[in-house]
């Protein structure tokens, strides 16, 4: 197992930015739940995927915002955007071709969040920020006609003006409820019958922003001050509504909630303007009945839950976040924020109960990595280099719970015999004058570290200090740009990753597309040009001397070889990802995981070269490292400070028949 910093972040970001501009409209329903959900599972237990862009187009610097979305199961989804378009699909999981877009309003102006409700495939009601309601009885038709009706004016000391409608919910075709920015609730039993069909009630002095009515006897609204308002009789006036403050203030200021969706009277999900998702199984139960979870920094605009198994959130960046009952993939992935400041670059897990991740000059260790941020200890490991600058931690390897070894860009080896203790204790030793780029430990008695100068540093006593390490120059290959910018310039390939399954065999890769394997012990190595494009190889994992899998940093490939010292013919490239493959980890010869943004690819027969299956994991950040101590547990990290874990999906329980 080996994990090292790629050293390719600026180039990778450029490639990813270019590719992001080419993404067309596509609603991607992503499986990202921790366990399979049965009917009645609490909304608070939903685990959410990272936001995935579903539309991008000019102007690229200011993407069109999707302002509202609603779905009738999987048979109809309707969305509205900030340019006044309506987008419809009767097959919302089928990708961009299954969606139809047409102008709904000239000049846009749809209010963000909660502005759309479709109680059936024969009725949709949308709200407009000039006090108007739009209705259609043919939402599934590409050329559906929408009727525009002015229903809401507000009169105060400043005069009479149109009220901005902030949400609408129709539990049935014979009852629709809307809310406005003046704190009013509007109800209609025949929403298509014109302005006179809508009745007004003033229920609060705060602007209402979103509304969901799972039944005619239960409505839940959210406002601009972090409050939830509930009613069992939505047309019953102000006294029929109860207010609870559920979204905590930030810096003494209230947080504006933007939308809410309740698939049942006991399941509600709400979102706010700072990236929080709030859920409750008892929406009328007061502040303690609501759970707040952060989904990132994007402004969340609207949420719709077609059922307890599927919720969709749209944001101000033209993105979607989805939760549904998991049905695909060999493992279910969960995101956990660990470090919200620095990008996590590598992780190593001795077991499912001992993981260490690194970010810049900090190590994070946990004896329960799936439990989230509170269970990760933080250790600042920033010895100053000779230049007076703090080096970057560049690799980590934990062969057991009693030893973890970290290397940095200034040539230090940093070790701990109990990394998950509180506080953890680490010892730093300057071993090399060159910066390390990765490390792999086959056992507590054998470690190999690599550097940017083509050297391997070997030790049978990694905690024994500088004298316990021996240096061997293993990479003599010349990059294809050798001498391009001057004699001798750029003529040394830099080693990027190493993996040692045993104390007598190691494999390494470099930034010029070469794979290296030790021959007859670790004093002699052979180098082979294995990448078809001479792209940088950024990761390698060897579960045994008979199998190694390398990650191609730019070509979206893994390169598998079953005879590591067998020359170029022993290496087989397989294209996996539309983006870069950033890391790879193999728990055994029959289980490997490769990260290729935004997917994790799993193979139970990696030697075959074609048996990789992708599962969406992280669409908002670049995944940088992964570790799989067993085939039943993997942990990865990304450059946004998150850790994500994968465990087998729990099988659906079988119902036992009672004996007669």
How large is the average pLDDT for residues 589-600? Answer: 84
- Write out the two tokens for 181: 């920015």
Per-residue confidence (pLDDT) for residue 419, from 0 to 100: 87
| Kind plus residue range of the DSSP H or E element containing 11 | helix 9-21
Note the maximum CA span of the chain. Answer: 90
Q: Name the nearest CA neighbour of 560 among 195, 546, 172.
A: 546
What's the mean pLDDT when you consider all of the chain? 75
pLDDT of residue 323: 60
**Model pTM above 0.75:** no
Residues 310, 361 share a domain:
no
For residues 311 and 456, the model is more confident at 456
Cβ atoms of residues 185 and 221 within 8 Å:
yes
Residues 272 and 351 in one domain: no
Cross-strand partners of 393: 408
**Residue range 517-563, pLDDT digits in tens:** 887 667 788 888 887 676 788 999 999 988 899 988 777 888 888 77
Do 69 and 146 lie in a common domain? yes
How much is the pLDDT for 298?
Answer: 65
Per-residue pLDDT of 161-191, as tens digits, reads 667 787 888 888 999 999 988 888 999 999 9
User: Do 428 and 540 belong together in one domain?
Assistant: yes
Would 656 be classed as within a structural domain?
A: no
Same domain, residue pair 55 and 171: yes
Residue 35 confidence class, pLDDT cut points 50, 70, 90:
very low
CB atoms within 10 A of CB 539: 31
Question: What average pLDDT does the segment 260-281 reach?
Answer: 86
Q: What is the DSSP string of 202-228?
A: E--SSPEEEEEEEETTEEEEEETTSEE
Average pLDDT over residues 642-657: 57
Would 308 be classed as within a structural domain?
yes
Q: What is the mean pLDDT of residues 323-341?
A: 40
- 30 is a domain residue: no
pLDDT score for 535: 75
Residue 475 and residue 487 in contact, taking contact as beta carbons nearer than 8 Å? no
Torsion of CA 336, 380, 10, 577, to 10 degrees: -40
- pLDDT, tens digit, 9 for 90 and up, residues 458-473: 999 999 989 999 999 9
pLDDT digits (tens, 9 = 90+) for 4-19: 433 333 333 333 333 3
For 438-454, how does the pLDDT look when each residue is reduced to its tens digit (9 = 90+)? 999 999 999 999 998 88
pLDDT at res. 12: 33
Model confidence pLDDT, tens digit, residues 373-421: 556 788 888 665 444 566 888 999 999 989 999 999 889 999 999 888 8
Q: Is 253 exposed, middle or buried (0-12, 13-18, 19+ CB in 10 A)?
A: exposed
In a domain? residue 23: no
Mean pLDDT of 231-248: 90
Q: Residues 428, 538: one domain? A: yes
Decide which of 305, 324, 343 is a domain's last residue. 324
**Do residues 318 and 338 both lie within one domain?**
no
Separation between Cα atoms, residue 369 and residue 359, nearest integer Å: 16
Q: Is residue 199 within 8 Å of residue 186, measured between CB atoms?
A: yes
CATH (domain of 155) = 2.130.10.10
Measured distance CA(290)–CA(629) in Å, rounded: 36
| Highest mean pLDDT: which range of 26-35, 104-113, 261-270, 560-569 | 261-270
Is 15 within the bounds of a domain? no
- The verdict on 276 and 384 lying in the same domain is no
Instruction: Find the mean pLDDT for residues 302-310.
Output: 68
Residue 619's region, left for phi above 0, alpha for psi from -120 to 50, else beta, is alpha
Q: What is the pLDDT of residue 247?
A: 93
The better pLDDT of the pair 294, 14 is held by 294
How much is the pLDDT for 475?
A: 86
Say yes or no: 401 and 526 in one domain.
yes
422 falls within a domain: yes
Per-residue pLDDT at 338 exceeds 70 = no
Q: Does residue 101 share a domain with residue 121?
A: yes
Q: Which of 324, 359, 387 is the last residue of a domain?
A: 324
Domain that holds residue 567: 332-481+489-647
Report how far residue 552's alpha carbon sits from residue 538's, in angstroms, rounded to the nearest whole number: 6
Query: Is the domain of 357 the same as that of 309?
Result: no
Q: Is residue 403 part of a domain?
A: yes
End-to-end CA separation in angstroms for the chain: 55
- Total domain count, the chain: 2
Answer whether residue 326 shows pLDDT above 70: no
**2 inside domain:** no
Closest to 304 (Cα-Cα) out of 117, 90, 89, 128 = 117
Q: Say which residue, 23 or 64, is predicted with more confidence.
A: 64
Question: Among the three residues 302, 324, 346, which one is the final residue of a domain in this structure?
Answer: 324
Say if residue 397 is in the same domain as residue 307.
Answer: no
Neighbours of 533 (CB within 10 A): 11
C-alpha–C-alpha distance, residues 632 and 625, integer Å:
17
Count, residues in the chain:
660
- Cβ–Cβ under 8 Å, residues 199 and 187: yes
Mean pLDDT of 73-77: 75
Least confident of 105-109, 144-148, 169-173, 264-268: 105-109
CA distance 411 to 404: 16
Question: In the predicted model, is pLDDT for residue 48 greater than 50?
Answer: no
The pLDDT value recorded for residue 484 is 52
Structure token pair of residue 646: 């994968």
Could you write out the three-class secondary structure of 90-134? CCCCCCHHHCEEEECCCCCCCCCCCCEEEEECCEEEEEECCCEEE
């Amino acid at each position: 197992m080996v994990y090292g910093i790629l050293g390719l972040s600026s180039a990778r970001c450029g490639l990813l930015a270019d590719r992001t501009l080419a993404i067309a409209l596509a609603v991607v329903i992503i499986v990202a739940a921790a366990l399979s959900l049965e009917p009645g599972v609490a909304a608070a237990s939903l685990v959410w995927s990272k936001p995935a862009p579903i539309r991008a187009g000019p102007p690229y610097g200011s993407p069109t915002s999707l302002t509202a979305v609603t779905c009738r199961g999987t048979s109809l989804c309707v969305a509205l955007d900030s340019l006044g378009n309506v987008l419809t699909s009767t097959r919302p999981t089928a990708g961009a071709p299954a969606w139809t877009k047409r102008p709904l309003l000239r000049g846009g102006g749809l209010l963000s969040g909660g502005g759309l409700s479709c109680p059936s495939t024969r009725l949709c009601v949308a709200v407009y920020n000039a006090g108007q309601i739009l209705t259609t009885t043919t939402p599934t038709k590409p050329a559906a006609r929408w009727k525009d009706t002015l229903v809401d004016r507000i009169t105060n000391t400043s005069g009479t003006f149109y009220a901005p409608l902030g949400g609408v919910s129709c539990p049935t075709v014979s009852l629709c409820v809307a809310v406005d920015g003046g704190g009013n609730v509007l109800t209609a039993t025949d929403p298509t019958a014109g302005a006179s069909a809508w009745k007004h009630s003033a229920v609060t002095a705060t602007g209402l922003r979103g509304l969901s009515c799972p039944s005619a006897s239960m409505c839940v609204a959210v406002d601009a001050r972090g409050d939830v308002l509930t009613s069992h009789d939505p047309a019953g006036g102000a006294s029929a509504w109860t207010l609870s403050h559920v979204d905590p203030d930030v810096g003494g200021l209230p947080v504006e909630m933007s939308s809410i969706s309740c698939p049942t009277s006991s399941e509600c999900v709400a979102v706010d303007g700072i990236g929080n998702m709030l859920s409750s199984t008892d929406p009328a139960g007061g502040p303690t009945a609501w759970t707040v979870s952060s989904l990132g920094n994007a402004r969340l605009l609207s949420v719709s839950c077609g059922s307890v198994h599927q919720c969709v959130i749209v944001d101000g960046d033209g993105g979607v976040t989805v939760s549904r009952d998991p049905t695909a993939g060999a493992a279910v992935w969960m995101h956990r924020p660990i470090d919200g400041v620095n990008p996590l670059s590598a992780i190593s897990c001795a077991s499912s109960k001992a993981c260490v991740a690194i970010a810049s000059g900090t190590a994070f260790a946990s004896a329960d990595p799936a439990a989230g941020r509170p269970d990760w200890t933080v250790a600042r490991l920033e010895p100053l280099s000779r230049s007076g600058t703090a080096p970057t931690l560049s690799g980590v390897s934990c062969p057991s719970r009693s030893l973890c070894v970290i290397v940095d860009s200034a040539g230090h080896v940093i070790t701990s015999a109990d990394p998950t203790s509180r506080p953890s204790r680490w010892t730093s030793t300057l071993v090399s004058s060159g910066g390390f780029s990765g490390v792999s430990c086959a056992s507590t008695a054998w470690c190999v570290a690599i550097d940017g100068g083509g050297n391997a540093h070997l030790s049978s006593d990694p905690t024994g200090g500088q004298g316990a390490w021996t240096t061997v120059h293993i990479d003599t290959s010349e990059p294809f740009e050798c001498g391009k910018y001057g004699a001798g310039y750029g003529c040394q390939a830099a080693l990027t990753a190493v993996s040692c399954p045993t104390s007598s065999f190691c494999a390494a890769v470099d930034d010029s597309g070469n794979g290296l394997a030790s021959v007859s012990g670790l004093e002699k190595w052979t180098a082979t040009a294995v990448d078809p494009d001479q792209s940088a190889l950024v990761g390698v994992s060897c579960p045994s001397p008979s199998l190694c899998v390398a990650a191609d940093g730019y070509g979206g490939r893994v390169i598998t070889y079953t005879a590591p010292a067998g020359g170029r013919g022993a290496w087989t490239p397989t294209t996996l990802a539309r983006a870069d493959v950033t890391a790879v980890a193999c728990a055994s010869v029959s289980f490997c995981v490769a990260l290729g943004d935004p997917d994790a690819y799993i193979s139970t027969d990696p030697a075959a070269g074609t048996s990789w299956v992708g599962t969406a994991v992280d669409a908002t950040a670049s995944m940088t490292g992964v570790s799989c101590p067993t085939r039943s547990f993997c942990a990865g990290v990304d450059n946004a400070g998150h850790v994500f874990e994968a465990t087998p999906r729990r099988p659906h329980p079988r119902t036992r028949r009672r004996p007669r």
